[in-house]
Amino acid sequence: MIKIANAPCSWGVLEFDLEGKAAGFEQVLDEIQETGYEGSELGDWGFMPSVPEGLKCELNLRKLTMVGAFVPVFLKDPAKHAAGAELAVKTAKLMADAGYIDAFIVLADDNGSVPERTLNAGRVTPEMGLSDEEWRVFAAGANMVASEVKAKTGLRTVFHHHCAGYVETPAEIDQLLALTDPSLVGLVLDMGHCQFGGGDPLATLKKHKDRIWHIHFKDCQPEIAAKSKTEGWDYFQSVGHGVFCELGKGGVNFPAIVAELNNQEYSGWIVVEQDVLPGMGNPKVCAHRNREYIKSLGL
């Protein structure tokens, strides 16, 4: 049975250093529960309690579960792999020790750290991508992180393709999955990042159904995405202009995606993500409307 969660990024709690003050974890968890969700992702290390008993207590108070944690690692650089694995294991151990043994490590590139990829998010060309040797290093790092997490905590790892990182386009998603161990590294399919990165979320869902272990529901506003290209906006400007809009108000075909998920008998979590940065709007109102939209699709 599919369950629906939300994530701290929907309250402006992101891994990037951005202007404005985001909500604290108590408010985020309260409003996730109040708007009808059953779970949450962790947010950055230190955002929520970083001891198992404290984390479990806060979630139990609200009858929520923990479904995953985002861990960015600059996988292109082999010198960063060990530290990335250490952070991933620490994060996974927190969730596992709190009893969330089905939660995922959501591994990603260190998105937004490479100027060329950040400036051209949504319109990257093959020339901006990794070389064959860099791909080998990148994939080896993903395999290593996932292997360490599984061996030391029992949790599984999914990779998050993401605009402003080195795995954004359909070809890059294909390459990552071709080079990583299917027993170790799954894919979290993010509908909004897929579409903004030039992909077709429904086609990707069908093509990689055996590797998709986790789902993010995010929408992409096509007019804003098109304007980001004509105006030359970087990734953060695009997000600030609302390229990731409320569900059902963008170009992602969610009714067809839900039908395909049901056809595949998908029984994992769907995590809603709408990057509502400080000053952009009311996260709780958006979260409520997003949940109502998903209910209208039968979930």
How confident is the prediction along the chain (299 residues), in pLDDT tens digits per residue? 899 999 999 998 765 454 556 679 999 999 999 999 999 999 989 999 999 999 999 999 999 999 999 999 999 999 999 999 999 999 999 999 999 999 999 999 999 999 999 999 999 999 999 999 999 999 999 999 999 999 999 999 999 999 999 999 999 999 999 999 999 999 999 999 999 999 999 999 999 999 999 999 999 999 999 999 999 999 999 999 999 999 999 999 999 999 999 999 999 999 999 987 666 778 999 999 999 999 999 99
Determine the pLDDT at residue 19.
52
Total domains in the fold of the chain: 1
Determine the pLDDT at residue 279.
65
Q: Token pair of 157, please? A: 């790892």
Determine the pLDDT at residue 31.
97
Structural domain of 156: 3-296
- Rounded distance, CA 12 to CA 280, Å? 9
- The CATH number of residue 112's host domain is 3.20.20.150
